[in-house]
Structure 1
């Protein structure tokens, strides 16, 4: 197994009562490193949603066909999800800091190209590179966090902040996208990334711990190829389900191909001397069920954003900016949930924290199934999304802690690659799944007007809440009860 070890770890020094060390050089460097990593992850996560509300404007400006608009989002999500596992392993092989900085460079260059694009093919190409950059940045940044902090409360605190900003990035992207589109121009959604990438590249080399590879092995090419093709087929099949419906042969052909590639991947990993994903990792219940929970955590919260966007803009007739602002409560709740997550884990353990997060998220999503037209429902929406966002982040932090715990540093890139893959699949799965529920309800009603849509959205939100509650019950049955509970962090 390749050994990628930090040449100079963060060297945390936990302040003791009465003896604070705020000026300690290693502490200051550590905080700058965390800030750099969290800023990068927040930015690439916001890219999932920042352009959604601007799609009609982009189509008009660059001459996209109506059917071609979906490729602005699909090109990004395909690459972000399809290559994340391979890049997560590559971080273990070539070095986490090196891959992180290469990914940030690609993000800045592709964002500049996207902001200056004057034709559809340039914009879609830029989104492809943005997706590849995301696949490199998120797992390498998470691996730097998990290897830079000892397993325990400090790591949980760092992962909590990371989870809060990543989930907040999705909702913030909708707010920023609406603001930039209405006030400035959609191109600024790309140009902001250029400024962020420049700042990260200026600070990153100085504050991120250098890592080295003692022995540079061959990359598991059969495993990387089958994993990438399988993930590409899975994500594309899921996007086609949202666009064509779950009964489309086109959709199921790609989902079937994903199953075939998954079987080929497992066969390749059994034969590989240094596999992309060591099979013993996949035998750990905490890794398997932790990542299943991660998929569902991201799928349920992102699909709520999608359903409430339709409610706000189509049923109530609000603008893109107003719709984006409605998600501020969810974003604030996400930040609070991410900050509180480590303390909840300290009190309950990561298993019970994950179960509680899904249960509360489901209970607070259920009232949204009864949304109506009167203005009073806005208060219900804001309160419910605030609590649901906080609970979702508790579940996300607990999933990240569970899925990356009790593994050696040499496998943290692989573990965080799996975590990132779960996130990307969750982002992709949620919207087509809830879109299919909404569409099926409209077809059953034989009507597509605002009243019928309101009823269909209520059905989809009820299904969303049920998924959360069922997940909480499932995790209670399958996760081991002997999950470590740590003391409250002081990071």
Structure 2
């Protein structure tokens, strides 16, 4: 059985709470904001595009603008939290997220909306790694921390469920603007309660921030996510795609060179000697690719092929999210009995099986007979995989680098999501085009493309299981 070592926390530097489980619930509420935003916006995209006059191709930038800022700034956000205080940076990120959500809801042009989405992503890049760092500080004991991560994973499932359901209800009744406004009261609750539950950070910054490293890695990540997103929108060999990829490689290389010479690096490269952390981030990269592509495809498939409205689409995704919530709560017991890696491998195999099953859904699918079963299996696999991967990603991390670990795992998820949406979305589009060229009716052609996408996500889950199985333990 894998032994999970708690993070080392320097005496007197970690935020503390006498009501840590209540504090966890509020931290999880902030994580709920980030998860909710992703799923709730997907449901609203078709209506949003019609009302603001955004075509289908440009509509992808509503997602991409958020992902670019979020994925590009996560490592910097995590390191800022380590330097200037996890609670302080968490509250700044939460306030920014609530304010920019309100700005997005007030948007009257596509340009205003895209700017607000980018600012939302930047705020989330401060919020997410700081929240995970606070969790690891509050729960140093391995058993309690595993239970806390189970709650964390369950909240992610609740966020997905609430997102698809609220997205449908709010879009149908109050308009697309309400899917952004809903973040504001939740953010206010978090901002009021966290200072009452978690003590202040130690005053003052620790050391000097690695500005050259921060600039190069942020630029490299933004360029990489932009290149991946551009693949789907303009093609693999388009000058924009190739140019962004080249910039990402150059800046990434410069970042590694800077980190090797800097006395106080933004990302100490030695952190990757922690094999559990490395495996956790690789699996999160692959898992993010599968999850983002899956949820995007499901929303489009149900609305464009099956003819469901936004509300019905939200309701049909509840079984998946419900299964995820239940299994996330049970995952800590499985980790304690079987070990983290065995639990993760089993979860990934279950996830792959559900995705293969879903790939056989026809163009005239009936929800109860064709979609419900695979949705539940997928939720079971995702619930176990999410909790266990997060556990590995923060396993044994020093207290002064917990924000960095949170930034790394969230960065892996975002980069993986952009990669999955770009590559698997392109595969689906090419398959659909081939079928249309062969004279296949549009609904069947689109279904054929989605079948390839679902099968591709299953392959990604299998690869993640193989990586987990063959990687050596610490």
TM range (shorter): over 0.9
**2:463 is the counterpart of 1:470:** yes
Task: Find the aligned partners of 2:11 and 2:314 in 1 and give their Cα distance.
Answer: 42
Q: Which residue of 2 aligns with 1:248?
A: 238
Q: Which residue of 1 aligns with 2:362?
A: 372
Q: What secondary structure, in the 3-state scheme, does the structure 2 residue paired with 1:209 have? A: coil
What is the CA-CA distance between 1:70 and the residue it aligns to? 3.0
**2:442 is the counterpart of 1:449:** yes
What is the CA-CA distance between 1:151 and the residue it aligns to? 4.0
Q: What secondary structure, in the 3-state scheme, does the structure 1 residue paired with 2:38 have? A: coil
What is the CA-CA distance between 1:8 and the residue it aligns to? 5.1
**2:9 is the counterpart of 1:9:** no
Verify the 8 A CA contact 1:46 1:169 in the aligned structure 2: yes
Deviates more, 1:348-357 or 1:137-146: 348-357
Gap runs ≥5 in structure 1: 11-25, 483-491
Matches within 5 A, 1:314-353: 314-353=304-343
**2:226 is the counterpart of 1:226:** no
Q: Which residue of 2 aligns with 1:52?
A: 42
Q: What secondary structure, in the 3-state scheme, does the structure 1 residue paired with 2:324 have? A: helix
Verify the 8 A CA contact 2:356 2:454 in the aligned structure 1: yes
Verify the 8 A CA contact 1:246 1:436 in the aligned structure 2: no
Q: Which residue of 1 aligns with 2:379?
A: 389
Deviates more, 1:203-212 or 1:269-278: 203-212
Q: What secondary structure, in the 3-state scheme, does the structure 2 residue paired with 1:211 have? A: coil
What is the CA-CA distance between 1:202 and the residue it aligns to? 1.1
Residue 107 (structure 2) aligned to one of 76, 95, 117: 117
Task: Find the aligned partners of 1:81 and 1:148 in 2 and give their Cα distance.
Answer: 26
User: Structure 2 vs 1, CA of residues 249 and 170 (structure 1 numbering), >3 Å: closer, same or farther?
Assistant: farther
Matches within 5 A, 1:249-328: 249-328=239-318
Verify the 8 A CA contact 1:5 1:213 in the aligned structure 2: no
What is the CA-CA distance between 1:254 and the residue it aligns to? 1.5
Q: Which residue of 1 aligns with 2:405?
A: 415
Q: What secondary structure, in the 3-state scheme, does the structure 1 residue paired with 2:202 have? A: strand
What is the aligned length? 463
Residue 117 (structure 2) aligned to one of 117, 127, 131: 127
Deviations 1:1-49 (A, max 9, x none): x979545523xxxxxxxxxxxxxxx3xx222211110000011122123
Q: What secondary structure, in the 3-state scheme, does the structure 2 residue paired with 1:83 have? A: helix
Residue 406 (structure 1) aligned to one of 370, 374, 396: 396
Deviates more, 1:78-87 or 1:245-254: 245-254
Deviates more, 1:370-379 or 1:67-76: 370-379
Q: What secondary structure, in the 3-state scheme, does the structure 2 residue paired with 1:160 have? A: helix
The two structures have a TM-score, normalised by structure 1, of 0.89
Deviates more, 1:369-378 or 1:141-150: 369-378
Task: Find the aligned partners of 1:460 and 1:69 in 2 and give their Cα distance.
Answer: 20
Gap runs ≥5 in structure 2: 1-8
Matches within 5 A, 1:184-199: 184-199=174-189
